[in-house]
Structure 1
């Protein structure tokens, strides 16, 4: 399911809803514990898990370059929000439900540009990889073919926003 993109004050919010057959605690561990996080989002490493804490973004391009991302909001097993891009943010919200939980990922995008569809497709595929990991399937490599397919769909989605 494509992210729903809505216009808000100052930009847009892309919202991905994923209904999971896993507990809030298991999903929380997958988005906050480095040994699990690295298996679906290898660029990120949690340094200090708290509001105002730090997540390191590793370029993973062979240079060893990285930069710090500030955690903007944090409530254990409920909310993790951090800076993303120049003036955006990403927010994970977990809601318990019978037999599992609802994972909501929101990305605030201040300016739609040529990179937006790539970023949206990236989050889409990362969520698919996360869900596979939770279901016991690990991807050795990022599924680039899946990303290409979703990228084309997000290009169309962005074009529709602009009309």
Structure 2
């Protein structure tokens, strides 16, 4: 399954949720999600410096010379990985589904006006993660504007 994200309001914040199915084991997909050499390919601005444990840190560079860190809030290999990046909470859950696995990705944030842009961005990132999992060359198609329009309509913004 390759679905568009869904937006929900939870406790005054906004939560985007994406689901993706893969024909690979939870363990294989876990490595592609969390190992620095893969994480830096699909997660924007990640430096690859990661302390993969609860309360560990992940370091990012904003592309303009500013470095910042995220704190891992939950790390339960090979099923759950969550971290707080600035004020946003991101979580990735992997569950066995048939002969493969299902990835559930959630991003919790405050600014509803950014919903379509955030959804389009994560859609693109998860597409790249899928390329990595499938062993395909990483390509970032120039589809951000189209996806923002799609999500503006799909999320009823």
Give yes or no for the alignment of 1:72 onto 2:70. no
Closer, same or farther in 2 for the Cα pair 1:18/1:110, shift >3 Å?
Answer: same
Name the residue aligned to 2:120: 121
Distance in 2 of aligned mates of 1:72 and 1:55: 11
1:32 partnered with 2:31: no
RMSD across aligned positions (CA): 1.7
- What is the rounded CA distance, in whole Å, between the counterparts of 2:44 and 2:107 in structure 1? 18
Q: Tell me, which stretches of 5 or more residues in structure 1 are unaligned?
A: none
For 2:132 and 2:49, the matched residues in 1 are separated by 18
C-alpha deviation, 1:42, in angstroms: 4.5
Q: What is the alpha-carbon distance in structure 2 between the residues aligned to residue 71 and residue 105 of structure 1?
A: 15
Distance (Å, rounded) in 1 between the aligned partners of 2:71 and 2:38: 20
Q: CA deviation at 1:156?
A: 2.3
Equivalent residue number for residue 89 of structure 2? 89
* 1:155 matched residue in structure 2: 152
**C-alpha distance in 2, partners of 1:60/1:34?**
18
CA distance in 2, matches of 1:42, 1:121: 13
Residue matched to 1:106: 106
Q: Does the residue aligned with 1:151 lie in a helix, a strand or coil?
A: helix
Q: Across the two proteins, how many residue pairs are aligned to each other?
A: 154
1:130-152 CA distances to partner (integer Å, 9 max, x unpaired)?
A: 10111111225x32x22222111
Residue 134 of structure 1 is matched in structure 2 by 133
User: Does residue 19 of the first structure (1) align with residue 21 of the second (2)?
Assistant: yes
CA distance in 1, matches of 2:11, 2:78: 28
